[in-house]
Structure 1
Amino acid sequence: MGKGFYISKTVGIVAVILGAGALAAIIALSVVYSQEKAKNNNNNNVLPTDGGTTLTPPVTPAPSSELWDKYRLPKSLVPHYYNVTLWPRLTADPATGLYIFTGQSTVEFECAEETDVILIHSNKLNYTRQNSHLATLTSVNPVVTAPSVKSSWLQNVTQYLVLQLDGKLAKGEMYILHTDFTGELADDLGGFYRSEYIEDGVKKVVATTQMQPTDARKAFPCFDEPAMKAVFYITLIHDSGTVALSNSEEKESSSVTLDGLSVQKTVFHPTKKMSTYLLAFIVSDFSFISNTIDGVLIRIFARKPAIAAKQGEYALNITGPILKFFEKYYNSSYPLPKSDQIALPDFNAGAMENWGLITYRETALLYDEAFSSNSNKERIATIISHELAHMWFGNLVTLRWWNDLWLNEGFASYVEYLGAHEAEPDWNVKDLIVLSDIHRVFAVDALASSHPLSSKEEDIQKPAQISELFDAISYSKGASVLRMLSDFLTEDVFTMGLTTYLAEFAFGNAVYKDLWNHLQMAVNASDMQLPDTVHNIMNTWVLQMGFPVVTINTNTGSIAQQHFLLDPDSEGIPPSPFKYTWIVPIKWMKTGVEQTPQWLEKESTTNDAMKISGSDWLLANLNVVGYYRVNYDQGNWDRLLNCLSTSHQLIPVLNRAQLVDDAFNLARAKIIPTVLALNTTKYLNNERDYIPWQSSMNNLEFFYLMFDRSEVYGPMQDYLRKQVTPLFEYYKNMTGNWSKVPDGHMDHVHIIPSSPKFYFNDSMVIQVQPYVHHLWNIKLLKMSSFFSIHPNLRAIMYCNAIAAGGAEEWEFAWLQFKNASIATEAEKLRSAMACTKQPWLLNRYLEYTLDPNMIRKQDATSTIVYIANNVIGQSLAWDFVRAQWSYIFHQYGGGSFSFSNLINGVTKRFSTEFELQQLKQFKADNAQVGFGSGTLAVDQSIERTIANIKWVAENKENVLDWFKAETKSK
């Protein structure tokens, strides 16, 4: 699955502009239907079908037993085949006002162990009784009589349909379970749900799916665990004139009459053996474009106007090359005859890797050259690559249980950069993993409330616990450690192991240790020498949380490691099986010359090769391939700083970003002085590369969050304005006094910070206007100029205009947002509206997030975070979340992946005792309501706030003095 809700580099920062003026300018960047109106899991519900049959779920109390009270399925039954027919109604039932679907399902399963109980997952489905029971059971073998159903009921907490039998199923025999059911096609973004949009003034409805991780059971009764793979025969009944899609290709389609209605019946070929969470079925009136590459049909589906506007062409053009790249990378042919990709108006995650039918948010698939920025284009390339990587790693071979989710998502998050590089080799996109994943997850993994990559199977049971795993640790730390593994094994050995792993477990399931076995076999087949086995090396990174800081003393040659904690005084750190020691691969250079890699296998050692003298300097973690931070003795720090100020290009570009990021975080952990960290930014007046600038601004963002309400803010702005002016002049010259757009992808992204007025006076702002081909009045967005802004500048220009204006400008942007037919344009406007300085507008905007007619449910939590990014809106957003938490939680569901982003987003500025107490009270007040997938984020926010309070108290005066001194110096 794609990485939750997404905030682009540009859009993610524009909402900070008001509160972080200079910073923002530098950075180039679920759900229940009104409580489902009629709870499908209420035993007293009655939902009529179009034929008038009354469906009354049973009220039989569950007998006392532990079997159906456990969240994991017993191993007694193994599904082989499903035959599922579903009929979604795309118009509301006139009697209830509900959108429903009806269905029939038969599942053929094998009895692996004798049992007199059948447990099959079911959630919010209503069943038609058959012979007084919710299902019928028959035997495949005519000489074997299936036991009768004695009693049946829905066990709502553990989400089971339970059937008690009057006899035992025979081991080794095959049986068929048949059910008829009805569910609500709600707008909750989970299971089988509906998405709505307006086209030519008419409301259109799409029936679509999102099964991962535990919502296939909302569409039909199934053994809803990833190891319970089966073959699926899917049939969809749908309105004439609509298109039906599923994982496999269409077998036949015909017109039929059902319940007096003329409808279409589409039958699909059987799927490959696969997990329930990868199923997809969609009914819409979308159109598509297509291409065929080496016999594989590639199609891009979207709303008809989007296809007509050619917004799917970029995705179509890059899908083929990326698929071919992964075939070569895995040394394995794409296992399906088609690859459909569809852009949905309502979708909770970024994208979902359904096998053969990948679903996306519109912003993650559709590209319009006139409106979409380079960042939008970059996002589309990496997300498509991420999802296509899953077609093998995750879909062909699937992890046995969700505790190993990190390997599935971490792997795709690593190789997405490789696939995107294949599609766009001139972008140098592979380097962005350092900013987007490694530095991102360091911030979380440096907390005492972090967690290991791999959890124990028994610790991950409930759906909310599973959803909580979809976090930065699983995605970004997983990507980081796998990139490190690929580097020290070499790509040839790494891919050799991948190939044999995929071949052995194709159409089956595995655990992460199985991959280690195959990588070790690849190592054994090469002449590579490792300090230990792949298992033993990688277990130190997988089975304990956190990461080390490696300290190198260039005077003595000593190398030591310790667990890096942002707050060294943190309490409650869990024990580690390795006592927080890692087997660390160290790539390093001496005065610009790469040296022989070293390994640090214990807490400390001495290596004479790392002694240096004179003006030489040492730099470790070359190209940031290792998942650790590096500290040095003061002498080596001084020589590195001198090199940055005199000959910064001797240090690789990724390591320039690393030096800044390591220094700032080492300072926050009280390992080095804060002034030393600030000194790493002094060379920036000579820096022209995007990645070091972005790293610097990401770290200075913390200073803005801590000080944008204090007297430190002004001198800090002055310092950044001084540092960025040479960059402004560089791009001014490159573009011929802003008369042309640069060619390089990174230049497109990097040029954005050179225009906003928060760095410069008004005359400097006007200088950049030829670049955007219009004369822009910051006081008012004129209709005549609105659409002439270059796509790369739109987000930041919109934000500035709305910030400088009032209600008129905001209302104008709102109208443009509601009428936007291009998702990326709507996203820029939605972010920019959070930039207003008017509290009443921000409060009204917050209220809009509770109304899906105003803000789509998929966008509600990110909109609240955008508002919280505004220093004026931060307290408003926090008050809103506290007041509305119960409503938000129940509306958006305990499994919503965006809860952790929401909680972290509204609390990241917290740095006072009063805010800490509010946060603790929030946790206590909502203990009964719960936090779902955001549970860990609450504890992390408390820990982070405590650390912030200490840091501000210890550093405020020194920081203020430093900025004042550097601003005065020439």
Structure 2
Amino acid sequence: MVAGQRLVDIFQPTHYDIYLDINRATKDIAGTVAIKGGAKQTEILLHQKFMTVQQVMIDDQVVSAVVDDDSETIAFTAPHTGEITIVVDYTAPLTDTMMGIYPSYYQINGEKKQLIGTQFETTAARQAFPSVDEPAAKATFSLAIKYDEQVGETIIANMPEEKVVDGVHYFAETVKMSTYLVAFAFGDMQSKLTQTNSGVQVGVFSTKAHQASELNFALDIAKRAIEFFEDYYQTPYPLPHSWQLALPDFSAGAMENWGLVTYREAYLALDENNASLEMKQRVATVIAHELARQWFGDLVTMQWWDDLWLNESFANMMEYVAIDALEPDWHIWELFQTSEAAAALQRDATDGVQSVHVQVEEPAEIDAIFDGAIVYAKGSRMLVMVRALIGDDALRRGLKAYFEAHQYGNARGADLWAALGQAAGIDLTTMMNTWLEQPGYPVLTVEVVAGQLQLSQQQFFIGDGVDQDRQWQIPLNSNYTDVQELMVTNKVVLGDYKTMRQQAGAPFRLNVGNTAHFIVNYAPDLLQEILADIDNLDAITQLQLLQDLRLLAEGCQISYAVIVPLLRSFANSHSGVVNTALYQVVNNLKKFVMTGTEAENQLQQLVNQLSADQFTRLGWQGQSDETVADQVSRPVIVDAALYAKNAVAVSSAHELVVTNRTALVALPADVRADILANEVKRYGDRALFDQLLSDYQTTADGGYQRDIMVALTKTKDVTFIKEIISYFKNSDVIKPQDLRGWYRGILSNDQGQQLAWDWLRDEWTWLEKTVGGDMEFTTYITVTAAVFKTGKRLAEFKAFFEPKIDTPGLGREITMDVNVIAGRVDLITDEKTAVHQAISKAL
């Protein structure tokens, strides 16, 4: 094969007949696949992984085949080019890696059970059936599945079941689609069904470990989301049904398999009577994201994985567009500001970060590009920026044309910009290439020079960064109406500031609404003008000020000591986004103080002064008539009050545990993690530890499981820490999907950091074998770098990871994270004294 050539360039499948005989007891799959398609040459390659191939036939003739596990292929020679039918008989294993066809484990009344499901993105369909496992190799699929069926079990797939003959379940032929979207599942399931206005069957499926009522919320959101997207895209949902399935073991958050979307249980099943607003929003946005993908990604699919952002970025924006329409009282775009925007700005400031559009070839490289802060968060910010620029009507017209032109096919980023640009009557391609093809983003410096208001752009870095003179076309979005729409040069002079200021009657600001991906460094006098007018600024503008100041301090363009005295100006806000941004700054100050020192004590005093009145106002339990902003603020304020050792908060949290000791899941869900963490840290004993660990293993409530993980990893008892670590490799106690969270929790704990770090280094080979084929694998490196802050840890991190820098899929992350830790170490060294003095002075 020629380097860089795709298998689809050799053989283009048109239809697959797939027969699978799956034995859960032996964990074996016996399969036969018949692939019809067009051969463009006689030397044919198909993808396979972990397979034993018994026989390959072409047009009923047995041919010799060579299996190459390194390239994950089967090679053979066809008798002729043109239309052929390839039949492969093979066996393959059921694995416990949460990739391919795999079992999920759960318990009901102490009995261990399993549910079989699939996860084929990015390149794991080849673990289930030989194929051309590439996005552009679209074909139709007919599934026939036999399994060791027990009475009452259910099997579901992309399309409806047509018949059952001799224990074999036959499903209707799919529409034309990519291999990674094929999906099925079977086991002892329950479901709830409804129908959209256009007649699409919608269902939510789960194990019977959940209460039936826990499916109601997801069913309602899914139905309304499909109806919304059909209207917004002006394109019908193209399949007869849309099933949503909660899998007990699932590495990612969810997966957009066409017609059978799979989810981590916590992101689908929900107890509405005791679920936090955060979890309701999370479940709703995840469902909307995956259903947005049924069109944008499934109906029209990226040509190759380098355009992954086409799928993920767009769906990330559309989840907010949809939920804003379905649940307007939630003000969901505020969550976008505090989650997506914040994550993108932090990650994208690290030198070496990938661009949104990035070249990839090998499977490990493909898995490594699923950088949530870039492909999802930054990419969605790019699209929000475009939507703000062209308007919603043009966006919808452009999307309709895009779907019509490319449905059941593949597209590239340029195709989207062409469709949207034509609908809006502007050239989007040139502008968007500056954002998608380049990593990073600019900081705009605003100053008055010789009376003239002047802007200049330069790439912003946190930590060391090599300035490569990158330049962006920046939507300025100024509050001054006579300022140009786009900045396309490195510097621009806007005019006489006094005149402009008098005409506008307000301080000068950029990026109004925070819709564009840049930050602003206002000269001190201009910043003071804005801060003096703070009571007249909307919540997003206040969030933006805090966000930009925090990032500028992280990037050493201003001192954190400058920010400390400003915090009181925001402390009494009733806005959820302002409180979130304020305490993000406060939490960043914690890295400058050592545990048990006077500096930490002073920071706790300051945090108590900032949060005490708000804690008194909000309390532990929400009121029926309170605002969404209060619901968003409560967990932020409670966390701050408990960190500050607020006596009332600490004691009343303990009283809540005492009152609810027999059913800790009943604690107020919005703040349950904080209450439990307080109890574990300050009142914890063996009985509490055992109770929480038992609850973690037996509850079907994903939110409660997460809260237990947060709480138990806060323990100060080294005996308990060692016991938790001893369970890291025991999937009967700690689910592999949750392991990274447990590891990070212990690593963040001063008493557990050395033990967790030793575990990671000692067990790296096991970890790589267990989850190394998972697109989440590199985040073990990321979360480690997010915690380390000393020169000693930096040296250890480099010593362990730099020898692995040539491992496929790991190199970029290791290089970036060395930079992340080094920048943090330098920042603390340079700023610690000034920050301590600023905190002391602020008391």
TM-score by length of 1: 0.82
Q: Does 1:137 pair with 2:32? A: no
Asked whether the 8 Å contact 2:457–2:471 carries over to 1, the reply is yes
| Partner of residue 743, structure 2 | 864
User: Alpha-carbon deviations, 1:390-445, whole Å to 9, x = none?
Assistant: 00000000000000111211111111111122221110012211111111111111
Instruction: Give the equivalent residue in structure 2 for 1:581.
Output: 471
Indicate whether 1:275 and 2:201 are aligned.
Answer: no
> Is 1:125 aligned to residue 51 of structure 2?
yes
Give me the whole-angstrom Cα distance separating, in 2, the residues matched to 1:765 and 1:200. 35
User: Which residue of structure 2 aligns with residue 683 of structure 1?
Assistant: 569
Q: Which amino acid aligns with 2:626?
A: D
Query: What do the CA deviations read for 1:95-149 (whole angstroms, capped 9, x no partner)?
Result: xxxx1121111000112x2x22110000011122xxxxx300007xxxxxx7x62
1:758 corresponds to: 643
Partner of 1:83: helix, strand, or coil? strand
Aligned match of 1:306: 210
Show the counterpart of 1:414. 317
User: CA distance change for structure 1 residues 316 and 954 in 2, over 3 Å: closer, same or farther?
Assistant: same
Shift of 1:785: 5.9
For the pair 1:501 / 2:402, whether they are aligned, the reply is yes
User: Is residue 2:576 matched to residue 1:702?
Assistant: no
**Distance in 2 separating the partners of 1:338 and 1:74:** 29
1:557 lines up with 2:461 in the alignment: no
**Within-5 A mapping of 1:429-828:** 429-456=332-359, 460-471=360-371, 472-524=373-425, 533-554=427-448, 555-567=451-463, 569-571=464-466, 579-589=469-479, 598-608=485-495, 612-613=500-501, 616-644=506-534, 647=535, 650-709=536-595, 711-731=598-618, 740=623, 742-755=625-638, 756-766=641-651, 775-776=655-656, 783-784=661-662, 786-804=664-682, 805-828=684-707
C-alpha distance 941-712 of structure 1, shift in aligned 2 (>3 A): farther
In 2, Cα distance between the equivalents of 1:307 and 1:212? 30
For 1:610 and 1:869, locate their aligned partners in 2 and report how far apart those are by CA, in whole Å. Answer: 48
Whether contact under 8 Å (2:650, 2:678) holds in the other structure is no
Which amino acid letter does the alignment assign opposite residue 889 of structure 1? Answer: E
In 1, the alpha carbon distance for the partners of 2:399 and 2:379 equals 16
Show the counterpart of 2:286.
383
> For residues 626 and 609 of structure 1, do their structure 2 counterparts lie closer, same or farther at Cα, with a shift above 3 Å needed?
farther
CA–CA separation in structure 2 for the residues paired with 1:959 and 1:312 = 49
Distance 1:742 1:835, change over 3 A: farther
- Seen in structure 2, the aligned counterparts of structure 1 residues 792 and 595 have a Cα distance that, compared at 3 Å, is farther
| Partner residue of 1:77 out of 6, 11, 23 | 11
Hey, what's the Cα distance between the residues in 2 that align with 1:636 and 1:552? 8
Q: Matched residues in 2 for 1:160 and 1:787: separation?
A: 49
How far off its partner does 1:630 sit? 0.7
How far apart are the structure 1 equivalents of 2:659 and 2:649?
19
Question: For the Cα contact (< 8 Å) 2:300–2:408, is it kept in 1?
Answer: yes
Counterpart of 2:68, as a letter, is Q
Deviations 1:874-928 (A, max 9, x none): 33322221221121111112x3232333222223232322222111101244457
Query: Is this contact kept in 2: 1:896–1:933, CA < 8 A?
Result: no
Residue in structure 2 matched with residue 41 of structure 1 by the alignment: none
2:70 paired with 1:160: no
Please tell me whether the aligned partners of residues 445 and 455 of structure 2 are also in contact (alpha carbons under 8 angstroms): yes
Structure 2 equivalent of residue 96 of structure 1: none
Checking the alignment, whether the CA contact within 8 Å between 1:708 and 1:871 is kept in structure 2 is: no
SS of residue matched to 1:234: strand
Instruction: Give 2:295's aligned residue.
Output: 392
Q: Which moved more, 1:183-192 or 1:220-229?
A: 183-192
Which region of structure 1 is more displaced relative to structure 2, 330-339 or 355-364?
A: 330-339
Q: Distance in 2 between matches of 1:714 and 1:389?
A: 48
Label 1:349 to 1:715 Cα distance change in 2 as closer, same or farther (>3 A): same
CA drift at 1:344: 0.6
CA displacement at 1:671 relative to structure 2: 2.1
Equivalent position amino acid for 1:432 in 2: L
Assess if the C-alpha contact under 8 Å between 1:71 and 1:462 holds in 2: no
1:842 counterpart letter in structure 2: I
SS in 2 for 1:837: coil
For the residue of structure 2 that corresponds to 1:312, the secondary structure is: helix
- The reply to whether residue 101 of structure 1 matches residue 101 of structure 2 is no
Q: Which residue in the other structure is 1:956 paired with?
A: 832
Matched, 1:848 2:748: no
Structure 1, unmatched stretches of 5+, are 1-65, 94-98, 129-133, 140-145, 257-263, 525-529
Aligned residue type for 1:232? F
CA contact under 8 A between 2:122 and 2:366: conserved in structure 1?
Answer: yes
Answer with 370-379 or 580-589: which moved more: 370-379
Q: Which letter does structure 2 place at the counterpart of 1:105?
A: V
Q: 1:210 to 1:236 in 2, by over 3 A?
A: same
Query: Structure 2: how far apart are the matches of 1:402 and 1:787?
Result: 42
Aligned-partner SS, 1:664: helix
- Residue 169 of structure 2 aligns to a residue whose secondary structure is strand
1: distance between equivalents of 2:797 and 2:765? 16
- For 1:945 and 1:678, the matched residues in 2 are separated by 23
Aligned equivalents of 2:163 and 2:475: distance in 1? 56
Q: Higher mean Cα deviation, 177-186 or 670-679? A: 670-679
Q: Is the CA contact 1:185–1:207 (under 8 Å) kept in the aligned structure 2?
A: no
Residue-by-residue CA offset, 1:440-496 (whole Å, 9 max, x unaligned): 11111111111211123xxx1111100011002111110111110111111111221
Secondary structure at the aligned position of 2:778 is classed as: helix
Give, in angstroms, the shift of residue 718 of structure 1.
1.2
Question: Do 2:57 and 2:88's aligned partners in 1 also have CA atoms closer than 8 Å?
Answer: yes
Q: Distance in 1 between matches of 2:591 and 2:759?
A: 20
Correspondence for 1:243 among 154, 173, 191: 154
Q: Percent identity?
A: 26
Counterpart of 1:723 in structure 2: which amino acid?
L
Once the two structures are TM-superposed, the CA of residue 939 in structure 1 deviates from its matched residue by 1.6
- Measured against aligned partners, the alpha-carbon deviations of 1:744-801 in whole angstroms (never above 9, x if no partner) come to 33322322344454335433555x67xxxx9436xx6863463442222211111111
- How large is the RMSD of aligned CA atoms in angstroms? 2.2
Q: Which amino acid aligns with 2:465?
A: S
Specify the SS of the correspondent of 1:751: helix
Cα pair distance change 1:764/1:923, threshold 3 Å: closer
- Identify the range of structure 1 (611-620 vs 236-245) with the bigger mean alpha-carbon deviation: 611-620
Q: What is the rounded CA distance, in whole Å, between the counterparts of 1:757 and 1:360 in structure 2? A: 33
Contact 2:136 2:304 in 1 (8 A): yes
Calculate the TM-score normalised by the size of structure 2. Answer: 0.94
Distance 2:352 2:833 in 1: 29
- Is contact 1:227-1:399 (8 Å) kept? yes
Once the two structures are TM-superposed, the CA of residue 846 in structure 1 deviates from its matched residue by: 1.9
Q: Secondary structure at the match of 1:519?
A: helix
Deviation at 1:596, TM superposition (A): 5.8
Q: Provide closer, same or farther for how the CA distance between residues 409 and 835 of structure 1 changes in structure 2, counting only shifts above 3 A.
A: same
Structure 1 window deviating more from structure 2 (619-628 vs 417-426): it is 417-426
CA–CA separation in structure 1 for the residues paired with 2:530 and 2:31: 67
The question of whether the paired residues in 2 share the 8 Å contact of 1:685 and 1:726 is answered with no
**Cα shift at 1:545:** 0.7
Which segment is superposed worse, 665-674 or 627-636?
665-674
Q: Relative to structure 2, which stretch is displaced further, 698-707 or 655-664?
A: 698-707
Q: How much has 1:866 moved relative to structure 2?
A: 2.0
Give the partner amino acid of 2:428: V
3-state secondary structure, aligned to 1:207: strand
Structure 1 residues 303, 763: CA separation in 2 closer, same or farther (over 3 Å shift)?
same
Q: Which runs of 5+ in 2 are unaligned?
A: none
* Cα contact 1:417–1:433 (8 A) shared by 2: yes
